[in-house]
Structure 1
Amino acid sequence: MIASRTHGGGRITVDQRADGSGEALQAIIGDVGDLSVQAAVGDFDLATLLTQVPAPLTALNLDACRMRFHRQLAASLLELETTAVGVKAAAFAYRQAEKGISEAFGGLLDAIGYATGRIIAISLPVIIPVAITIGVQVLVVSKILDVTGLDDVITTHFGIDLGKTKEQAKEALVTAVFEHSDVAGAVIEHVLPGIVVGFVGLPPALLDTDADHAYWPHDSQSMTVWLLAGANQFGLLLPSDVEVWEAEGVTPPHEKPPRDLEDLYLREAACHRGTDSGQVRIEEIVGPDGTTRYIVYVPATTDWSAKSGDNTTDMTTNVQGMAGNDTVMREMVRQAIADAGIDPNDEVMLVGYSQGGITAGSLAADPAFLADVNVTALMTVGSPISDFAIGSDIDVLSIEHEQDLVPDLDGNENPAADNWSTITVDYDPDELRKAPALRDKSDAEIADLFDSAGAAHSSTAYAASIALLLRSGNGSLDRFTAKNSGFFTGDLKKTRDYQGRRKHT
């Protein structure tokens, strides 16, 4: 069975359970206290007092029992009150401890990064000559071995294939980074900004800020802004305008609305798979009640070049989006929605994988976009979107692989909000091959799909995970589908596909 964990989406946490228990106990105390008052008042009932006259000894014994009852009841109420206060205090302490541990851990990583940056800055006069000397030597020796054919001799006599060893080392490094993606995310969020601030010689207190944007690095988003500014100086990752038009779809339109979340995700993946530039697809669905709803599919990355070309789903869109800037893909979605004639009151679901999730998530947090588009649901897969302040009126489902680095590039977990469920799946190729769509695949085909270092981010792996989650039963998937059932029922009236091209001045 595929392993996963979920947070958010209304799931009750330990401290919430404790708070709930404390409140329930407080209610019981109130009820018992009311009964105690009624019993005390009843002791002075005139009819009861008159019945004591004929039997004074019995009356004395009864009074003694009453006094003992009220004394023990008061003691019990005091104990219950103390317990209720203790339970609530424990919940508060748990939240504070959790917050403190998180802040202390982040502060420790900041300090480590800052110290590393200072060491690098101080040691630079020594490091540069040594690095140049070693680098030149390695380069010269590698060239000599290649030209003279000695690398083949080494392979023959010592069994060491230098080229293969280099590739294996590279693969091992990438695998380690993906397998420990949480650590990599913490490094991006804390250590790297600390190194930059320490290297430049800025005060370490600058790392402790909650501002979304600042002139100095203090988190993953501000680091991306700095990276972007540096790349722009070399003509890389430059923003541009975009031209958008309705085009023939990458795949034929479907006849019915998506039957479930697996079908929904497969339609999303088809918007970019095997194409030079991804397309935005909009499905118009009319429910049994006559309500019109729209699903907007936002494509993922198709071009990893840092040089902006015509392609809209490129690395530039990734970095610009992570920096919190507007992108050509955001504009493509806006123009596609406007061209499709979507009314501001019509319900809209945004769906995005990887870069598509970044674009969709950023739009779902954009007040200007939401003023014109009624986004009621958002589904992202393998996307870093925790930096986006998505409102509580939008129902969000995020699916991530534990060993996928991409969702951790923002350095934080998604908020554990009532309207936001995040399902983290343990990436296990042996389990994923049990997905119905992969059962007929050979071992060699499975190896091609899942054995690479970054396979945890592949759309095929996510499709398999979603399929297995559905078949094994998952409360968060069921909740999201039930709450947004209007997008999965009724008639699919029209499908529109949109293509874009960067405009360079």
Structure 2
Amino acid sequence: MTASPITGVSGGSAGVAATYDAVRALADAFDAAGSELRGWAGLGARTMANPDLAESAILSPLTFAEAEGAVLAATTGPDGVLVEALGWEADAVVVRAVVAAFEETDALVRAAIDAVDHQVGRVVGLTLGATAPVTVPLLLLTVPHLPSQAQDELEQWVVEHPGVVQHAANGGGGLLEGLWDGVTPFAPAGPLGVSLFVPDTEAGAGLLAALYGDDGSAHVVRTLDVVPGDATQPAGVADLVSHLQDVAHLSPDPDSPLNGTIEVQTLGAGTDDVRHIVYLPGTDDMTTVPWSKDDDVRDMLTNLLLVGGRDNAYQEGILEAMAQASIGPDDPVLLVGHSQGGMEAAAILSQGSDFNVTDVVTAGSPTAQVDGFPDGSHVLSLEHQGDVVPLLDGADNPDSVEQTTVTFDDHGSGIVDQHDYDHYVAGAEAVDASTDPSILEQLASLHQHGFLAGSGDGSTSVTAHVFQITRQP
């Protein structure tokens, strides 16, 4: 398989946030230099107060005067180290101010985009709500009967304009507000005279999740199922994603009996170098509505809870399965997830747990809603150009030192196909072959923690256990 071309890399050790950190470190160095020079400036007075030097003034007053002038000029004079100290410290202040101005500008731009998306969503919602008696029946009558060519063209347009999807998702809160008020266009407060306040996508997802009722709790059992290649240590990111695909094949359909299965792979069991890889497939059932919620834990309710930043039964089950797999609190852990599974992986790392999660690899997962990652952790996020799923958080992944986002183009067709594992395996191959510094630093972390096999790791023991997570009331 030919590696897909990488179209963009953001964040990581060579990203904007890392550059800002480096510039701040430079300002700290300027400050340190200024402090040291300021200390040197005091040497002038101490030197001139030296008793032996002072006594020499009687014997050689002219020479003493010359020495005094030179010392004072070098320390406190117009070109002395004291003035230079002030210059270095002033430069430090300016550098920090410039970085702060850049960051503030970035924040203002993001806030402006959020405000525009929210307002556009609200207007669309108002329009749809007010015209629902006409538009809903019309859509129900026409959409199912659209010619296949028209459906294909509409789908292709969505794929080719991912920014529209992202802005629509970002305006989801405004859309819900507009729909609520639009139902009663002559009563702006909405039904029952109660206004709806949904400031962002996260709040909107939380509101929709509430329609499903209680998420219940997780029930976790170890199964006897075997995943192909589960006794082989992965050698690269492509192996990780390919094996995740094999785990996902345990539940290929929305009503598969093994929905909710994950795998925990343990490397070097019984040694001082034990580490673990947890494979987390994505959504099993995309069609779950409030009245059809069942024991399938990987459903739309979980998606909404994740976007809303809420705990959920799938996450609870993942942590329970890790405990059942006897993962120690200090054992390095890599979480690998596709779609919803990647969202769970990012959330677990961000929120913290009883486990030592050092690395995360996500494929086709929305993660912008996650509130940052711990210092020193590593998150490698793969996003296929044309896949709308990673855009459903309504924003690009924030540029951070911990997270590197890699976009690539494997030329898929159709909304569903763009999200397919095969494309992400191809994108992972491109990552393995990349020379980008941010990507290389992510790969180095995976190797240093022993998750990926090196040239001399052929004897590493690998064991694996499959767990099934279901929802119970």
2:78 aligns to what SS in structure 1? Answer: helix
CA distance in 2, matches of 1:292, 1:453: 40
CA contact (8 A) 1:272 1:301 kept: no
Indicate if the aligned counterparts of 2:335 and 2:360 stay in contact, CA closer than 8 A: yes
C-alpha distance in 2, partners of 1:456/1:393?
32
Q: Once the 2 structures are TM-superposed, how far is the Cα of residue 83 of structure 1 from its aligned partner?
A: 2.2
Cα deviation, 1:175-196, whole Å, max 9, x if unaligned, reads: 1343x2xx5334323x221233
Instruction: Please give the residue correspondences for 1:28-47 in structure 2 after superposition, counting only pairs within 5 Å.
Output: 28-47=33-52
Task: Output one character per residue of 1:278-310: Cα deviation in whole Å (capped at 9) or x when no partner.
Answer: 521122222695343332211223443334466
- Residue number in structure 1 paired with 2:240: 264
* 2:171 counterpart of 1:171: no
Asked if the contact 2:332–2:449 (Cα under 8 Å) also holds between the matched residues in 1, the reply is no
Matched, 1:475 2:444: no
What CA distance in whole angstroms lies between the structure 2 residues aligned with 1:336 and 1:468? Answer: 32
Match of 1:461 in 2: 423
Alignment of 1:101-112 (within 5 A): 101-112=109-120
Q: State the Cα distance separating 1:118 from its structure 2 match.
A: 5.1
Deviation track 1:417-456 (CA, whole Å, cap 9, x = no partner) reads 55x3222223254xxxxxxxxxxxxxxxxxxxx2334544
Aligned to 1:2: 6
Of 318-327 and 462-471, deviating more is 318-327
Rounded to whole Å, the distance in 2 between the matches of 1:407 and 1:428 is 15
Aligned partners of 1:427 and 1:456 also within 8 Å: no
The one-letter code of the counterpart of 1:496 is: H
Kindly provide the amino acid, as one letter, of the partner of residue 423 in structure 2: A
The one of 215, 219, 222 aligned to 2:203: 222
Deviations 1:131-189 (A, max 9, x none): 479769x859x98xxxxxxxxxxxxxxxxxx82541233223321343x2xx5334323
| Matched residue SS, 1:352 | strand
Tell me, yes or no, if the aligned pair for 2:268 and 2:275 is still in contact at 8 Å: yes
Instruction: Give the alignment partner of residue 408 of structure 1, picking from 385, 391, 397.
Output: 391
Aligned residue for 1:195? 175
Cα 1:328–1:177, aligned 2, differ >3 Å: closer, same or farther?
A: farther
Q: Answer yes or no: is the 8 Å Cα contact 1:244–1:499 preserved in 2.
A: yes
Which whole-Å CA distance do the structure 2 matches of 1:43 and 1:464 have between them? 73
Q: Do 1:384 and 1:409's aligned partners in 2 also have CA atoms closer than 8 Å?
A: yes
Match of 1:24, SS? helix
8 Å contact kept, 2:234–2:451: no
The separation in 1 between residues aligned to 2:318 and 2:132, in whole angstroms, is 47
Indicate how the Cα distance of structure 1 residues 49 and 329 shifts in structure 2: closer, same or farther if over 3 A, else same: closer
Residues in 2 aligned to 1:185 and 1:132: alpha-carbon distance in whole angstroms: 24
Number of the residue aligned with 1:76: 84
- Relative distance call for 1:485 and 1:239 in structure 2 (3 A) is same
Question: For residues 434-483 of structure 1, what are the alpha-carbon distances to aligned partners after superposition, in whole Å with 9 as ceiling and x for unaligned?
Answer: xxxxxxxxxxxxxxxx2334544322222112212222233232232144
On the 8 A contact 2:297/2:314 being kept in 1, the answer is: yes
Once the two structures are superposed, the pairs formed by residues 205-244 of structure 1 within 5 Å of their partners are 216-230=197-211, 232=212, 244=220
1:285 equivalenced with 2:267 (yes/no): yes
- Aligned residue pairs total 436
Classify 1:28/1:411 alpha carbon distance in 2 versus 1 (closer, same or farther; 3 Å). Answer: same
In the other structure, the counterpart of 2:99 is 91
Q: Residues 457 and 168 (structure 1 numbering): CA distance in 2 closer, same or farther, change over 3 Å?
A: closer
Change (3 A) 1:131 1:329: closer
Residues in 1 aligned to 2:300 and 2:57: alpha-carbon distance in whole angstroms? 92
Where in structure 2 are the equivalents of 1:221-370 lying within 5 Å? 221-230=202-211, 232=212, 244-249=220-225, 251-273=227-249, 275-276=252-253, 277=259, 279-286=261-268, 289-306=271-288, 307-308=292-293, 311-324=296-309, 327=312, 329-330=314-315, 332-344=317-329, 346-364=331-349, 370=353
Partner secondary structure for residue 270 of structure 1: helix
Q: Using the TM superposition, give the Cα deviation of residue 46 of structure 1 relative to its aligned residue in structure 2, in angstroms.
A: 4.3
CA distance in 2, matches of 1:496, 1:113: 45
2:343 alignment partner, SS class: helix
Paired with 2:133 and 2:49, the residues of 1 have a C-alpha distance of 98
State how far apart, in whole Å, the 2-side matches of 1:286 and 1:349 are: 14
Deviation at 1:315, TM superposition (A): 3.9
Q: Deviations over 1:378-416 (max 9, x none)?
A: 332221234345762783413132633222222244455
Choose from 364, 372, 375 the match for 1:382: 364
Distance 1:62 1:390 in 2: 59
Structure 1 unaligned spans of 5+: 144-161, 203-213, 430-449
Structure 1 residues 452 and 71, CA, compared in 2 at 3 Å: closer, same or farther?
same
**Cα distance change on mapping 1:132 and 1:228 into 2, 3 Å:** closer
* Residues 236-284 of structure 1: per-residue CA shift (max 9 Å, x gap): xx95676654334353353332223322222112111372335211222
SS in structure 2 at match of 1:246: strand
Contact 1:377 1:394 in 2 (8 A): no
Greater alpha carbon shift after TM alignment, 31-40 vs 57-66: 57-66
Partner of 1:211: none
Report the 3-state secondary structure (helix = DSSP H, G, I; strand = E; otherwise coil) of the residue aligned with 1:71.
coil
Assess if the C-alpha contact under 8 Å between 1:15 and 1:92 holds in 2.
Answer: no
Identical amino acids, percent of aligned pairs = 21
The 1:76/1:451 distance shift into structure 2, 3 A limit, reads: same
Separation (CA, whole Å) in 1 of partners of 2:55 and 2:316: 88
Change (3 A) 1:264 1:37: same
Moved more, 487-496 or 217-226: 487-496
SS of alignment partner, residue 21 of structure 1: helix
For 2:67 and 2:26, locate their aligned partners in 1 and report how far apart those are by CA, in whole Å. 36
Tell me if 1:426 matches 2:430.
Answer: no
Kindly tell me: are residues 286 and 487 of structure 1, through their superposed partners in 2, closer, same or farther at Cα, counting changes over 3 Å?
farther
2:450 corresponds, among 482, 485, 499, to 485
Rounded to whole Å, the distance in 2 between the matches of 1:301 and 1:22 is 47
Question: In structure 1, the residue corresponding to 2:465 is in which secondary structure?
Answer: strand
SS at match of 1:425: strand
SS in 2 for 1:410: coil
Structure 1 pair 40/294, CA: closer, same or farther in 2 (3 Å)? same
